[in-house]
Amino acid sequence: MRKLWIVVFTLMALVALLTTIAPAATQAQGGAINPLTGLPIDPGLLQRRPIAVKIENSAYGRPQSGLDKADVVYESLAEEGVTRFCAIFYSQAPTTVGPVRSARPSDIEILPQYQAALAYSGCSVPVKKMLNESPDIPLVGQIQSYDPYRRIPRPGIESYHTLYGSVPKIREMMVRKGYETPVSLGGWQFANPPIAITSPTSVAHVDIPFSGWSRLSYRYDARLGAYRRWFNDKVHWDRESEQQYAPENVIVQFADVKDGPYVRYTGGGGAYLLLQNLTGEGRCIVLRGGAVTYGKWVRSERNGMTRWLDDSGQPILLNPGRTWIAVVPLDTDVKVTLGTPYTGSPTIGASSSATPAAGAGSTGSTAPTSTPTPTRPIGRGARE
């Protein structure tokens, strides 16, 4: 009998041990997970620092290059109602990214949570002062070294709209300068399996009017599990991949945005730099898988990751994939519309198709293309 009990206890201990190590074994077999996308990633890549590239979004800068390879993309107002991107590259390294433009105060608010290096073309005197006061942001711009950058001329386009960078070469520059050090990167929580709305008539689409000059729309395409993007009633696409931008997650982050220092241009005129506060908390709208959640964003400290929470205070789960975040002023009239999924085939090119009406489904109907009268509530006096 004693031997029988010994055998029983031995078997129980073995089962307990296997139960304990099974999750670790499963994780090891599945590989590492990218904290910014929720997708599998080479564990070696987790040791490197993210790179943030400042990318233009004026009419002269579209279509952009390499923007669809970023893990996270922030879109913020620059001046005069024109937006500019801050693209975070972590898992992918495109060799052509741009057009690369000058840094803005918004970058200083965004980057510390990612411990990212900043790739940019230059900056104004006030922004230079802000960057000098932010030693936690490694600078890898054209000012520091021209090696990772090159001009790609385009007919009729002035040279300052033609600067492009190479993420692999920027990373080589980081190694030379001692910036390529392991970072402990935070992240978000992702749904497994991914969220997918089941009702065929309750799919969420969104229209975000930054200004009369910058009107963007996202239409959910269930075939992709992603949100196709239109900008000013035109398909927004990438010059390198020749594909429409279509992130899996779209977040609208409402923030306090106000005029900052006035900057004069060498050729005349000038603009008020825009200051945005991304520490604290505020409203947010999160769209993924055709579903929408209204909640709040919370970021308790400069180096802490922004958290997306629902009304009960629970984390809002994102779908694995890329996330595009629109940082809008508090009074922006964002419109979420419920309807059917987008099922069309957008045309890529200069004469690309207009924005489909939200919920138009396969009817192919389009929204009115009349342009609203531009307003200038903030960022007065700038040029594109």
Residues 353-372: tens digit of each pLDDT? 567 877 655 333 333 333 33
Return the pLDDT at 74. 98
- What average pLDDT score do residues 274-301 get? 97
Share of residues in the chain with pLDDT > 70 (%):
84
Are 235 and 346 in contact, with CB atoms under 8 Å apart? yes
Residue 3 to residue 307: CA distance in whole angstroms: 55
pTM for the model stands at: 0.86
In this model, does residue 191 exceed pLDDT 50? Answer: yes
Helix, strand, coil percentages (3-state) for the chain, rounded to 5, are: 20, 35, 50
SS3 sequence, 119-133? ECCCCCHHHHHHHHC
Residue 283 to residue 281: CA distance in whole angstroms: 7
In this model, does residue 292 exceed pLDDT 50? Answer: yes
Mean pLDDT, rounded, of the chain: 85
> What are the structural domain ranges in the chain?
43-177, 203-363
Return the pLDDT at 356. 80
Whole-Å CA distances, 36 to 95, 199, 249, 334, 358: 21, 28, 11, 25, 28
Considering only the top CATH level, what class is 203-363? Answer: alpha beta
Q: Which residue has the higher pLDDT, 288 or 2?
A: 288
Residue 346 to residue 344: CA distance in whole angstroms: 6
Which single residue is written with the structure tokens 């009406």? 357
Residue 359 to residue 228: CA distance in whole angstroms: 13
- What average pLDDT score do residues 27-34 get? 66
In this model, does residue 221 exceed pLDDT 80? Answer: yes
Residue 214 to residue 329: CA distance in whole angstroms: 13
* Core vs surface per residue 328-353: b (16+ CB within 10 A) or e: bbeebeeeebebbbbebebebeeebb
pLDDT digits (tens, 9 = 90+) for 103-160: 999 999 999 999 999 999 998 889 999 999 999 999 999 878 889 999 999 998 998 8
Confidence of residue 352 (pLDDT cuts 50, 70, 90): low
In this model, does residue 1 exceed pLDDT 60? Answer: no
In this model, does residue 100 exceed pLDDT 80? Answer: yes
Q: Which residue has the higher pLDDT, 376 or 128?
A: 128
Residue 228 to residue 313: CA distance in whole angstroms: 29
Supply 84's token pair: 């500019």
User: What are the residues whose beta carbons fall under 8 Å from the beta carbon of 223, sequence distance 6 or more?
Assistant: 341, 343
In this model, does residue 214 exceed pLDDT 90? Answer: yes
Return the pLDDT at 226. 98
Query: Residue 377 corresponds to which amino acid?
Result: P
Residue 272 to residue 220: CA distance in whole angstroms: 35
Supply φ then ψ for residue 336, to 5 degrees.
-100, 130
pLDDT digits (tens, 9 = 90+) for 320-342: 999 999 999 999 999 999 999 99
Supply 50's token pair: 């993210």
Pick the CATH number of 43-177 from 3.50.90.10, 2.40.50.140, 3.30.479.20, 3.90.1150.10: 3.50.90.10
Quote the radius of gyration of the chain (alpha carbons, Å): 23
Supply φ then ψ for residue 231, to 5 degrees.
-130, 125
User: What are the residues whose beta carbons fall under 8 Å from the beta carbon of 250, sequence distance 6 or more?
Assistant: 206, 218, 227, 286, 287, 288, 323, 324, 326
pLDDT digits (tens, 9 = 90+) for 79-95: 889 999 999 999 999 99
Return the pLDDT at 3. 42
